[in-house]
Amino acid sequence: MVITIDGPAGAGKSTIARALAERLGLRYVDTGAMYRELTAAALAAGAELDDGAALAALADTPPPPGSDLRAEAISRHVSAVSRHPQVRAAMRGRQRAQAVDAVLEGRDTGSVVCPDADLKIYLVASAGVRAARRAAELDMPVDEVERSIVQRDQLDSEQLAPAPDAVVIDSSGLSVEEVVARIVALLPVAAATPLPGDRFWRTVRPVAEPVFRGLLRLSVTGAEHVPRRGPVVFVANHQSMWDIPALGAAQPRAIRYMAKSELFRPRPFGAFLRMGGTFGVHRGEPDREALRTVHETLVGGGTVGVFIQGHRQEGFEQAKAGAGRIAVVEQADVVPVALRSRNWRPGSRIAVAFGPPRRYARDGRRAAEAYRETADQLMADIRSLYEGAG
């Protein structure tokens, strides 16, 4: 999937594009930063800003170390650099090479760089709003920034025309979350398409559920908290190999579990996991494919199961921030689950406790901070449920 976001300076392109990429598990490509890097390199080299060929020759030259690409000096000259056809042609190849499962933002990403993008957005906002936003970033007087923005709009007029099929969104009175929600709502959704694992669950559940309920002697509390329809994320602790069948049998939804990629290496076992809808995640690194699978499952109204610690543990430490990211970024009900299954033996009992569903948001926090704090809150909720399930 490729989404382009274009618009004038200060319309919120970078913030929205970055948040949207996080939400969808896509790569974020800031094409404007490429021109700012070139502008910094050109100014440092003393290049003539009206010599398009000379500037294009600097296209692969990195900016000086420590360059502030958002500085007013860069903003003042970047339009003079980017307006040259030779420069834009040199940059276009780099931009298209990165346009794979990505959100691109710039001035003409939808009309020129990626004319076949799956969705094209054109962000606008009043000059006053744009100036206020940029002035807050640069700690400069609003009127001075507004004059600079108007001047830059005039210089960029050739690139500022939206693509004919772009959707125009005025961000003036909207929050970041509201703009992102509007864009996500524009994405095509194949709601009628069965999710991976649906057939497996329909076939196996009538037999497996009573078997596992009896074998594991399940004690279930809070099952009424589980939404019967719509997107749901189950976030649970992990104590034994029996947690997956216990959670599956304790509630009525078909769950797509996120599991470490190493489990898929034995091919027969990997095939069995995939048949049930389970998908792999590479631990210790951002896994865009896994995040995209999470998003597509939830957009389709399905459920995802996440073990918040990433592997089996007895205690309640080391909650992974990735679980917090899913809770914050995805528009889904998040249900904490406590599993008391440690040292299970035939004849003993496994307890499963569900907490009430809730939704999370960044609420103005930095992304990393919001993910970390949300993961810690979920871990605290799970611990409280665990203690009550004893």
| Residue 94 belongs to domain spanning | 2-186
Same domain, yes or no, for 161 and 219?
no
Q: What is the CA radius of gyration of the chain?
A: 25
205 in a structural domain? yes
Q: Could you tell me the CATH number of the domain that includes residue 109?
A: 3.40.50.300
Q: Are 216 and 242 in contact, with CB atoms under 8 Å apart?
A: yes
* Residue 192: per-residue pLDDT: 45
Separation between Cα atoms, residue 377 and residue 390, nearest integer Å:
21
- How many other C-beta atoms are found inside a 10 Å radius of the C-beta of residue 294? 28
Angle formed by the axes of helices 13-24 and 176-186, nearest 10°: 60
191 in a structural domain? no
Handedness of CA 303, 308, 309, 315 (dihedral sign): negative
Same domain, yes or no, for 102 and 148?
yes
Same domain, yes or no, for 180 and 223?
no
301 in a structural domain? yes
* Residue 86: per-residue pLDDT: 93
* Residue 274: per-residue pLDDT: 84
Q: Are 382 and 236 in contact, with CB atoms under 8 Å apart?
A: yes
- How many other C-beta atoms are found inside a 10 Å radius of the C-beta of residue 269? 11
CA distances from 169 to 13, 66, 180, 289, 331 (A): 11, 34, 10, 28, 20
* Residue 198: per-residue pLDDT: 80
80 in a structural domain? yes
Same domain, yes or no, for 149 and 213?
no
Same domain, yes or no, for 115 and 256?
no
Query: Strand, helix or coil at 128?
Result: helix
295 in a structural domain? yes
* Residue 48: per-residue pLDDT: 93
* Residue 239: per-residue pLDDT: 94
Buried b (16+ CB within 10 A) or exposed e, 338-362: bbbbeebeeeeebbbbbbebeebeb
Same domain, yes or no, for 221 and 154?
no
* Residue 155: per-residue pLDDT: 64
**pTM to 2 decimal places:** 0.62
259 in a structural domain? yes
At residue 70, φ and ψ (nearest 5 deg) are -100, 5
Q: Are 32 and 69 in contact, with CB atoms under 8 Å apart?
A: no
User: Scanning the structure block, which residue is given the tokens 């948040």?
Assistant: 19
Picking from 154, 186, 218, the residue at the C-terminal end of a domain is: 186
Token couple for 85: 């056809």
Same domain, yes or no, for 108 and 144?
yes
Written as tens digits, the pLDDT of the chain (390 aa) is: 899 999 987 888 999 999 999 888 889 999 989 999 999 999 999 999 999 999 999 998 999 998 988 887 898 899 889 889 999 999 998 899 899 889 999 988 999 999 999 999 999 998 888 888 877 777 788 887 778 777 777 766 666 688 999 999 999 988 888 999 899 888 865 444 567 778 888 888 889 899 999 999 999 999 999 988 889 999 999 999 999 999 999 998 999 999 888 888 887 877 888 888 899 888 777 788 899 899 989 988 899 999 999 888 888 888 999 999 999 999 899 999 999 999 999 999 999 999 999 999 888 899 999 999 999 999 999 999 999 876
Query: Strand, helix or coil at 351?
Result: strand
Say how many domains are in the chain. Answer: 2
Same domain, yes or no, for 273 and 367?
yes
Same domain, yes or no, for 152 and 265?
no
